[in-house]
Amino acid sequence: MKLKKILPQAITLLVVIIIFGFFTMNAQLNMENRGIDFGYGFLSQESSFDVQFSLIEYSGSDSYARAYLVGLLNTLLVSILGIILCTILGVIVGIARLSPNYLIRTTAAWYVEFFRNIPLLLQIFFWYYAALRALPLPQDAEAIFGASYLTIKGFYTPSLIWENLDIFIYSVIAAIIAIVFVRIQAKKLRENVGKHLPVLNISIVILFVLPLLTFLFGGVNVGYETPELKQLAKTSFKFEGGLSIPPELLSLVIALSLYTATFVAECVRAGIQGVGKGQREAASSIGLNRKQVLNLIIMPQALRIIIPPTTNQYLNLTKNSSLAAAIAYPDLVLVFAGTALMQTGKAIEIVSITMLTYLTLSLSISFFMNWYNAKIAIVEK
Amino acid sequence: MFKYLKQLTSLVAMVAVLFTFTTETMAAKKSKTLKNTQKKGFVRCGVSQGLPGFSNADAAGNWTGIDVDVCRAVAAAVLGDASKVKFTPLSAKERFTALTSGEIDILSRNTTWTLSRDADIGLTFVGVNFYDGQGFMVRKSSGITSTDQFKNGISACTNIGTTTELNMRDFFNSRGISYEPVAFEKADEVVAAYDAGRCDTYTTDKSGLAAQRTKMSNPDEHIVLPETISKEPLGPVVRQGDSVWEDIVRWSLNTMIEAEEYGITSGNADMMKTSDNPAIKRLVGAEGEMGAAFGLDNDWNYRIITQVGNYGESYKRNIADTGILPDRGPNELWTKGGILYVPPAR
């Protein structure tokens, strides 16, 4: 009886081990025959190539490990920006699809059907080459709001120069803690006494006033640096100074968030429609206004339907960001699984590291979203 | 249970090892790659995704170029028919993996011969079919006529995974110029971005610049700067570990170059069979046993010359007549002031 239970499992395990063993041995033999070494020692070697855009200090005299970090941070940057933008856009479009207004509803539906049904890579190419064709050369660019420039070589905008930035950041953190405290107290008041505090207004006041005080008393000061046009050759110009965002990042973020937002919008629409009509009617009948119905009755229930499929979309966006390689945005795939792989020839090592990295990223997002999902799940009383 | 498992895995392992050993010893006598190629009936050749003059497919899918001709020469030698080649277009990033994993048997894709590539990654370079160097292309209207005029902040478009990226860094660093590298995966994307004005300069091998210039929306607006910042000997590559196949590819290329040296062309090769010069007779298979060592018949080199032509013919057909680089420069024979010099076929 016991054997009957264990045997199929043991056989499965055996088959898996044999398959893995076979491929490992095969790879080893082949690599030995062709004189290829296996090892991760190359990570500490000098990379000797430069990267266009990096969030940390990096030059070709740094190690491959640091080049990996540069690529990883660039991937994270584009993923986080994409997730934030696609969520905002997705929620707006999702709600718009249920709007009683015909024009809004139809526009939203058209947007979803259009962007959802065109391959993402094509959209990335479209935004990139459209940007390259449509944007002016630096010397022809018109200023936006007086000091920002959108050119073929990137978006240039004034950057802030802070004094005592740390104090300012501490004050923001303190403000956030204070807001959390206010919310908890407000909830207690509501549940115990039945009194409603204008939590949102109080939060906004705290968020602005506390950091503002540091300007007056904390010695915090902010200046700015504007981009200046510089001539490189007779017809070749560029902007220097300020904050510059390369067109590759811009078009990648636009393409990824426009594409993923369509799926998020559908999740949101499905979530809202998934809440029973009776809930809305019951809420209205006990005297809640429209805003309260949405915030207190519909959304808490809709979120439970929205979160799991939206998690998938966040994962997709993160993985899709690897298409960056097509338009020269130096993400993990381009920098590490591209240039570094080519220069070292360590295909198995580099691909395995890259795969593990994406796996870790995806699992982290999934873990966080599961935690959030569990937090908002119905707690039976 | 576990005892049984252990025995079974070791058995499987033993069988696998035994199997590899038996195939190894058989292959040692004759080249495994040669045997496979003859069995398949075509040469598997990795080429570029489209570089005029070197390897480029026309609308009908016919490949031409001097890199293509190396593969055709090998096909003529080992299969008797220069058209029996299966071309696989590869990006710079994919090329070595495709070769080491056995997807292709010759990589003839304007690939620079360097120490680390030759020694590290399981490859063997068999020779040089084009002596090149890295250069820069700029817009004529920029007024730049020399790399001395490059200024801080210049943006340079290039390909990833090439020696170009490394040379560019060495070049700009040694001059203390800060630059923005914009690296794409495919050559067509580099050209499109540079052409649109994303970059101030486009850098790659000079032959590549000359070839890509023909693809620009208006070729006359661009010039290649005179400076050459690196040595780029380009040549065919094979997998490490099959010395017979390596020799076949090497001597197919050498035959083309030496045929030019002795004035043997696709047109006069038949007449040359009765030449008085034994060196010429050896090159057209009329004297000596020049194919036996490779496991080939004696006419292998004759077939290369009649079906593909000598190096000079290939160069003229693909690079000079197409207006890419009419001047042969260093790629002229050593007897005519160039540096093409191959060991004698004897």
Mean pLDDT of A73-97: 94
| Among chain A residues, CA nearest to B20 | A29
pLDDT of residue A364: 92
Is B241 within 8 Å of chain A by CB?
yes
pLDDT band at residue A266 using 50, 70 and 90 as cut-offs: very high
Indicate if the pLDDT at residue A197 is higher than 80.
no
Phi (first) and psi of residue B237, to 5 degrees: -130, 145
Report the distance separating Cα A100 and Cα A96, nearest Å. 9
- The Cα of B177 is separated from the nearest Cα of chain A by a number of Å equal to 12
pLDDT of residue B24: 40
What structural domains does chain B harbor?
32-131+234-258+308-336 (3.40.190.10), 134-230 (3.40.190.10)
pLDDT average per 10 residues of sequence, chain B (346 residues):
55 52 45 91 94 91 95 95 94 87 93 86 90 93 90 89 86 91 87 89 90 86 91 93 92 95 93 90 88 88 95 94 87 93 90
pLDDT of residue B29: 52
Mean pLDDT of A353-370: 91
DSSP B37-51: HHHHTSEEEEE-S-B
Report the distance separating Cα A56 and Cα A77, nearest Å. 12
- Residue whose token pair is 């981009």: A227
Other CB atoms closer than 10 Å to residue B132's CB: what's the count? 25
Side chain identity at A309, as an amino acid letter? Answer: P
For residue B31, the SS3 value is: coil
Report the distance separating Cα A78 and Cα A84, nearest Å. 10
ipTM: 0.76
pLDDT of residue B14: 53
Is B200 within 8 Å of chain A by CB?
yes
Is A345 within 8 Å of chain B by CB?
yes
- Verify whether the Cβ–Cβ distance B198 to A153 is below 8 Å: yes
Nearest by CB to A338, from B138, B185, B189: name it. B185
Other CB atoms closer than 10 Å to residue B199's CB: what's the count? 26
pLDDT of residue A35: 67
Mean pLDDT of A126-154: 82
- Verify whether the Cβ–Cβ distance A338 to B100 is below 8 Å: no
pLDDT of residue A134: 82
pLDDT of residue A326: 84
Is B20 within 8 Å of chain A by CB?
yes
What structural domains does chain A harbor?
64-158+226-376 (1.10.3720.10)
Q: Are strands B134-139 and B222-224 parallel, antiparallel or unpaired?
A: antiparallel
Nearest by CB to A234, from B16, B120, B143: name it. B143
Q: Which letter does DSSP use for residue A64 in this model?
A: H
User: Out of A114-128, A161-175, B108-122, B278-292, which region has the weakest mean confidence (pLDDT)?
Assistant: A161-175
Residues A333-344: b if buried by 16+ CB within 10 A, e if exposed? bbbbbbbbbbbb
User: Out of A86-95, A232-241, B159-168, B262-271, which region has the weakest mean confidence (pLDDT)?
Assistant: A232-241
- The Cα of B138 is separated from the nearest Cα of chain A by a number of Å equal to 10
Indicate if the pLDDT at residue A378 is higher than 90.
no
Cα of B285 vs its chain's centroid, Å: 26
Nearest Cα to Cα of residue A93 among A77, A115, A118: A115
- What is the four-CA torsion angle of A47, A49, A52, A53, rounded to 10 degrees? 10
User: Please, which residues have CB within 8 angstroms of residue A235's CB and are 6 or more apart in sequence?
Assistant: A139, B139, B141, B142, B143
pLDDT of residue B9: 58
pLDDT of residue A235: 78
- The Cα of B137 is separated from the nearest Cα of chain A by a number of Å equal to 14
For residue A320, what are its two tokens? 């899709």
Most confidently predicted of A159-163, A279-283, B103-107: B103-107
Is A22 within 8 Å of chain B by CB?
yes
User: Out of A97-106, A289-298, B44-53, B278-287, which region has the weakest mean confidence (pLDDT)?
Assistant: A289-298
Is B118 within 8 Å of chain A by CB?
no
DSSP B100-130: HTTS-SEE-SS-B--HHHHHHSSEEE---SE
Side chain identity at B14, as an amino acid letter? Answer: M
Better-predicted residue by pLDDT, A149 or A103: A103
Instruction: Decide: B204 and B175 in contact? Cβ < 8 Å.
Output: no
pLDDT of residue B1: 46
In terms of pTM, does the model score above 0.95?
A: no
pLDDT of residue A186: 87
